Amino acid sequence: MSVPQHLNLVDGEWVDGERRPNTNPARPDEMVSEYAQADPGTVRAAIEAARRAQPGWARQPVAERMGLLDRIGTAILARVEELAVLLAREEGKLLAEARGEVTRAGQTFRYYAHQLLQPTGEVYASTRPDVHAEVRRRPLGVVGIITPWNYPLAIPAWKVAPALAYGNTVVLKPADLVPASAGELARIVVDAGAPPGVFNMVLGEGRVVGEELLTSTAIDGISFTGGTTTGAHVARECIEHGNKRFQLEMGGKNPLVVLDDADLDVAVGCALDGSFFSTGQRCTASSRLIVQAGIHDRFVAALAAATDALRVGDPLDPDSQLGPVASSGQLRQNLDYVRVGVDEGATVVAGGTHRPEDGQFMRPTLLTGARSDMRVAREEIFGPVSCVVRVDDLDEAVDVANDTPYGLSAGIVTTSLRAAELFKRDARAGIVSVNLPTAGTELHLPFGGTGASNHGPREQGGYARDFYTVPVTCYTGW
């Protein structure tokens, strides 16, 4: 059987390049597809095509843009099962989780189709006589979009959809670990009738493809999701090359606080989901479990037992509860952090071992006896590894939760309304959850954090408009 091919999309044409294999993390010898690496010239051609197409796309009637977005979303939703299987094979996500991600991507495009019917400007009273004052919104222009490997359809969708909706043109650079999902999205966009140059996609490594986007002065803005170190590099390059606008969604070291009055089953369920589902490969994962002394031992015992009971296996097997780690490099990093945690004085109470014959499958790992100064409690691991920090009361729990350079998501499990309200007030995070996992978000609400987790306007919902448009103040005299 022939292996599917995924090529670069430039100005409505499919452009080949040096081929690279795309393999299945559950079975690394299995080819999922081949993809064509873009060279610098291909990237520049994509940027030029987007620049030529942008004025015409911005002037398209709203109904035309709505129609395109609706057709894209409808096409994605019509192929949920097919795209979910591809996503599971390419990234290692469980099939059920992959179905959810594909559905979210389709719904996102349809959501932004309808967002175009929302008010787009404001009228103000002028302080001068016979003057009309208003604020209009114009598109940012050409947007470079750089996405990570952990949500290969959902994250491109929640960036591409608002960019196109508000009249921008796009050059998408997906993570080179997951080119097939982005490749199928590109085909859907083309088949839905996107004019040439409105949506372009370039595949390959960040040091080649990403750098061309960052250093091009023909790009008006960069929307990036990825690691904090890379995000800082994105910011520097954007400022140096044209002072282009940038939006950074980066890492997290997210706390889940469990108070003595918590429902134990709810607490264990939230911790299990937030820490380990999606193999812990979520920027909103609960990688710090901050537990009050009175419930600590019962919570640890129950969570360790639940963690040991999780079934790790092929993502296409309906009995699997965790899939493989997405890459061999990520697996090595996860295991290194477990060793670091033990060396620093933490204790492994679940998981923690890995045999060569296990391939890229890793048992979820729970560490106890952690402190806020330990690397496992401070640095983002991005795998199925979580640590427990013991505290005496709510005040200490909040202090520990906020003792991080990050600030993406935070959660608390409690039956006290007072404690919940205080935590929502005091937790330094962009997303706060009560009696729910830290990893749950909805497409119509803003997504983003504080500190090292975020820079620039929020993503998703109506808040996405703040990045993809530029306010223009207009005065008219008569």
What digits encode the pLDDT tens for the residues 169-224?
Answer: 999 999 999 999 999 999 999 999 999 999 999 999 999 999 999 999 999 999 99
For 400-428, write each residue's pLDDT tens digit.
Answer: 999 999 999 999 999 999 999 999 999 99
- d(CA 173, CA 164) in angstroms, rounded, equals 16
pLDDT of residue 466: 96
Contact, 410 vs 390, CB < 8 A? Answer: no
* Residue of 238, 283, 387, 474 with catalytic role: 283
Q: Which residues lie closer than 8 Å to 411 by C-beta, 6 or more apart?
A: 254, 255, 256, 257, 270, 274, 286, 432, 433, 434, 436, 437, 438
Look at 66 and 353; give whichever has higher pLDDT: 66
- d(CA 86, CA 22) in angstroms, rounded, equals 11
Q: What is the mean pLDDT of the chain?
A: 96
pTM here? 0.96
Give the mean model confidence (pLDDT) for residues 250-270.
97
pLDDT of residue 356: 87
Sign of the dihedral defined by the CA atoms of residues 76, 81, 86, 91, in that order: positive
DSSP H or E stretch at residue 64: helix 62-78
Please determine, for residue 465, whether its predicted confidence score (pLDDT) is greater than 70.
Answer: yes
**SS3 at position 186:** helix
- d(CA 163, CA 168) in angstroms, rounded, equals 5
What type of residue is 280?
G
For 35-89, write each residue's pLDDT tens digit.
Answer: 999 999 999 999 999 999 999 999 999 999 999 999 999 999 999 999 999 999 9
pLDDT of residue 97: 97
First to last CA, the chain: 71
- d(CA 422, CA 393) in angstroms, rounded, equals 13
- d(CA 291, CA 298) in angstroms, rounded, equals 10
Alpha helices in 116-178 (DSSP H): 154-165
pLDDT of residue 121: 87
DSSP H or E stretch at residue 296: helix 293-309
- d(CA 197, CA 377) in angstroms, rounded, equals 45
Give the mean model confidence (pLDDT) for residues 432-438.
98
Give the mean model confidence (pLDDT) for residues 320-348.
96
**SS3 at position 465:** helix
What type of residue is 87?
L
Give the mean model confidence (pLDDT) for residues 387-392.
98
409: β partners:
431
Give the mean model confidence (pLDDT) for residues 4-13.
96
DSSP H or E stretch at residue 87: helix 80-91
Alpha helices in 120-241 (DSSP H): 154-165, 179-191, 211-215, 228-240
- d(CA 301, CA 268) in angstroms, rounded, equals 10
C-alpha angle 333-368-284 in degrees, rounded to nearest 5: 55
- d(CA 287, CA 302) in angstroms, rounded, equals 17
Is 270 one of the catalytic residues? no
